[in-house]
Chain A
């Protein structure tokens, strides 16, 4: 106890936490205001808003699971090479050769859990009418985040490069070739032509753009890897910032007006 007090009164602790021990109203407010992460929160909040039965904590858990995915995902990237020669065997050898090699399990089950929690978060927001003015725009941002979460999961599905992965992506991406106008089996694609030469064919349509080829192959693996590890997480991070910012700006956690 005396050691703890000595640490807390020293210069190092004081330089990191610029307020006293959060024991009274002022220092507790400072604990939130002077911390860049806790600063996401307001200082005080509606009592009804923090009841677990009101929020189900699903939004928070979704964000937490996103962080779990980032951390375990980075750990997986150390051991994984996104090429057809290595991908499957890197994954296969992972559990056997890596000490405490639970990252893949955490990553996979965390991804499943995140999809469940994000849907439940949406259900909660709907059932409490929290999308109503002034929060309309933030609901829209949330819908985009939901779509991006599904896409993150979808692109990650391919990376183990096993039968399940390859055929799930084949089934999932086959639909793209039927996109109206830009898929070669879609309605209207035949009209897009110059002087009788069709512009939309198997080698130039929407599915080709998605898969980087006419079937799920090496180029698809690399493309999905880059989307999964770089592009989509960056977009999600930016939109998360917008989402959290707007929660605050639109009046904080919802409650009866």
Chain B
């Protein structure tokens, strides 16, 4: 009996520890560090033994977690099932891609032909491709039908404009944008950033002048392009969806995966403006009435970030600049800095309670 109680309390402290790790700043930092460590050691991490061990540990952690009622409640919500599936599939395909990249990179070093080599080695579409397509189609149909039988499509109460659910969540694939709404005003989070994401994605082939790595898996030949894209894909898409689905609860508060969704926990937000920090706390003077002068520290900070950033980055990107030219480099560094602004501001909000960097509320122009 004592042993059982001891195990129980040990489990509770583990759960508490995981809840702490899932606090947003830790979760984000751990995800970014994990991505960097994976990219640095991709040849080791993608070895079947290592990857298999990680997958086994992940599965075990999931099964153990399912003993917890709060965890089960959030994971088994019908509309959250696709997201659990997505996390599993994304992990698997990332392994698949980087496994092949590791093999190809080794072969390139040894001067051996690539996995995808053999441009003249052709097969007939009938039967080789057509049958693969048919099998994929049958498996996909069967999986979808099983899924549809096992899991009824949810239907909540009839729409009622007078009763707002708490939390009110956007469709899961827009949860990244909804998360951005916490840190940025709607015109940025809802309009400008999505626009820039679309424009930035379209711009990728016109910016990337690196001729290598065309048509085969590799990491060594284009580390910058792949790292940047994966940062966007894994951190700003998948991780923010995980935030929005599993960690955001009532009053849009953060909750750990083993934590009860307490509706009475208030949204404790006391945001601070940099103008207060600069004029009152630092200079100990009244805030100037002119809004340009008032926001000058923020404007200088932001201007320095977007104008000075590309110049400082040149230290690392000199060769890339020569390859790309001025215009491509400017567009690339602008998009890169905008992308990095999101996690930077998120961390600033969580640590310093920073509200706006530049807050010209008179024009609704807040960044």
Contacts and interface: CB of A to CB of B under 8 A. Distances in A.
Interface of A: 22, 25, 28-29, 31-32, 38, 41-50, 52-54, 56-57, 60-61, 64-65, 68, 84, 88, 91-92, 95, 102, 104-110, 112-113, 115-116, 119-120, 123-124, 126-133, 135-136, 139-140, 143-144, 146-147, 150, 153-154, 157, 160-168, 170-172, 174-180, 183, 185-190, 215-217, 254-257
B132 to A, nearest CB: 6
Contacts of A170: 168
Interface in B199-238: 201-202, 204-206, 208, 211-218, 222, 226, 229, 233, 237
A183 B152 CA distance: 38
SS of B interface (majority): helix
Interface stretch (B58-66, B117-125, B319-327): B117-125
B191 A127 contact: no
B7 to A, nearest CB: 38
B182 to A, nearest CB: 12
Contacts of A64: 136-137, 140
Given A166-B161, A168-B170, A116 B125 contact: no
B124 A29 contact: yes
Interface in B96-141: 96-97, 100-101, 114-119, 121-130, 132-133, 136-137, 140-141
Interface of B: 79, 82, 85-86, 89-90, 93, 96-97, 100-101, 114-119, 121-130, 132-133, 136-137, 140-141, 144-145, 147-149, 151-161, 163-165, 168-171, 173-174, 177-178, 181, 185-187, 189-192, 198, 201-202, 204-206, 208, 211-218, 222, 226, 229, 233, 237, 363-365
- 4 closest pairs, A vs B, by CB? A175-B190, A105-B148, A178-B186, A136-B205
Given A130-B215, A256-B114, A42 B125 contact: yes
B155 A215 contact: no
Nearest to A175: B190
Given A46-B118, A256-B215, A163 B140 contact: no
Given A25-B124, A129-B222, A175-B181, A256 B140 contact: no
Contacts of B124: 25, 28-29, 43-45
B125 A45 contact: yes
SS of A interface (majority): helix
B214 A56 contact: no
Nearest to A65: B140
Given A64-B140, A256-B114, A47 B122 contact: yes
A167 B164 contact: yes
Nearest to A191: B363
A61 B140 contact: yes
A31 B170 CA distance: 47
A92 B155 contact: yes
A10 B233 CA distance: 55
Given A28-B124, A171-B178, A255 B96 contact: no
B339 to A, nearest CB: 15
B214 A68 contact: no
A186 B191 contact: yes
A116 B89 contact: yes
A109 B144 contact: yes
Nearest to B181: A175
A61 B165 CA distance: 35
A126 B181 CA distance: 28
B84 to A, nearest CB: 11
A137 B160 CA distance: 45
Contacts of B101: 127
A164 B154 contact: yes
Contact of A168 (B132, B169, B202): B169
B205 A38 contact: no
Contacts of B117: 48, 256
Given A45-B128, A50-B123, A124-B93, 4 more contacts: A110-B144, A163-B159, A178-B191, A256-B215
A65 B140 CA distance: 9
B81 to A, nearest CB: 8
A143 B89 contact: no
Nearest to B113: A256
18 contacts: A28-B127, A32-B126, A44-B122, A45-B122, A47-B121, A47-B123, A57-B132, A110-B144, A113-B144, A126-B204, A128-B217, A154-B171, A171-B178, A176-B190, A216-B159, A255-B119, A256-B114, A256-B216
A42 B169 CA distance: 45
B171 A50 contact: no
B156 A162 contact: yes
A40 B233 CA distance: 30
Contacts of B168: 167-168, 170-171
A133 B212 CA distance: 11
B315 to A, nearest CB: 26
